[in-house]
Amino acid sequence: MTLLPSMVPPDYPAYAQTIIDEGIRIVETAGNSPGPIITQLKRAGVTVLHKCTSIRHALSAVKLGVDFLSIDGFECAGHVGESDITNFILLSRARQEIKIPFIASGGFADGQGLAAALCLGASGINMGTRFMCTVEAPLHENIKKTIVKSDENQTALVLRRWRNTSRLFKNKVTEEALKIERTSTTGEFSEVAPYVSGKRGKEVFSNGDPEHGVWTTGQVMGLIHDIPTCDVLVKRIEKEAETVLNERAALVVPESKL
């Protein structure tokens, strides 16, 4: 449940109440001023995972009583925050500062990444773009193929001027939005709004045209080279992580053998 800045914000408490009424027991929250929503969910006995892009926000979420955190590095798709800290530093800072469990998000697609996240203090990883590119993902096949053939350079940061920065796939729509963002003399969001329409972005996933609108994807595209089933992907990641952790452990020479 992401609370986004909006000229006409939706009724977030009503959404939260629907979640509670439907018996959903675990909810991810994110975005601006989530305190009232987190309180509402926690009072109903819901387990809350809060997504953060900075240590400051993570510590605030801990004070609000969340159960665990998703620490999102600058590499991630969608809302990257405004601090631009990549996961190599952000996860280590979380390990130093955060006293509740956290998972790592942004830039993960394989077992090597999982192993790295575990070594940096995370309890696991969260994958968005990687799961978009699986057989079961409810996306048009052409979008999955676009992710496979793209690399880490094919994303764009849009809406930074309005402190609502989002990492999106780099296409003609994001380029036009960026042009307006950089050259507008009024700074009115209404100028760029038609180009960052969520409706057009949603249509991308059904019509298969990667140029139709804005859509979120992470730099991790550079690590994605196939479209497996979720079962194959997860088992592969588990095997890769186990292998790499065992290989690295073998580098440690007992003092008695030195």
Q: Are residues 45 and 97 in the same domain?
A: yes
- Token pair 């590119």 is at which residue? 133
- pTM for the model stands at 0.90
Rounded Cα gap, residues 179 and 94, in angstroms: 36
Q: Is residue 176 part of a domain?
A: yes
Same domain, 242 and 212: no
Does position 212 have pLDDT exceeding 90, yes or no?
yes
223-255 pLDDT, tens digit each: 999 999 999 999 999 999 999 999 999 998 887
CATH at 58 = 3.20.20.70
SS (H, E, C) 69-126: EEEECCCCCEECCCCCCCHHHHHHHHHHHCCCCEEEECCCCCHHHHHHHHHCCCCCEE
- In 3D space, the residue among 8, 69, 82, 7 whose CA is nearest the CA of residue 34 turns out to be 69
State the residue range of the domain holding 93: 13-126+228-250
Checking phi first, is residue 107 left (phi over 0); if not, alpha (psi -120 to 50) or beta?
Answer: left
Count of structural domains within the chain:
2
Does residue 158 share a domain with residue 91? no
- The reply to whether 68 falls in a domain is yes
The reply to whether 148 and 121 lie within a common domain is no
Residues 112 and 240 reside in one and the same domain: yes
Same structural domain for residues 72 and 119? yes
Position 6 scores a pLDDT of 67
> For the chain, what percent of residues have pLDDT higher than 70?
98
Q: Are residues 108 and 70 in the same domain?
A: yes
Give residue 32's pLDDT: 78
| Residue 28 and residue 91 in one domain | yes
Q: Please check whether residues 76 and 48 belong to one and the same domain.
A: yes
pLDDT digits (tens, 9 = 90+) for 35-87: 999 999 999 999 999 999 999 999 999 999 999 999 999 999 999 999 999 99
- Residue % of the chain over a pLDDT of 90: 89
Residues 243 and 115 in one domain: yes
Is the model's pLDDT at 193 over the cut of 80? yes
Is residue 7 assigned to a domain? no
**Would you state the pLDDT for residue 24?**
97
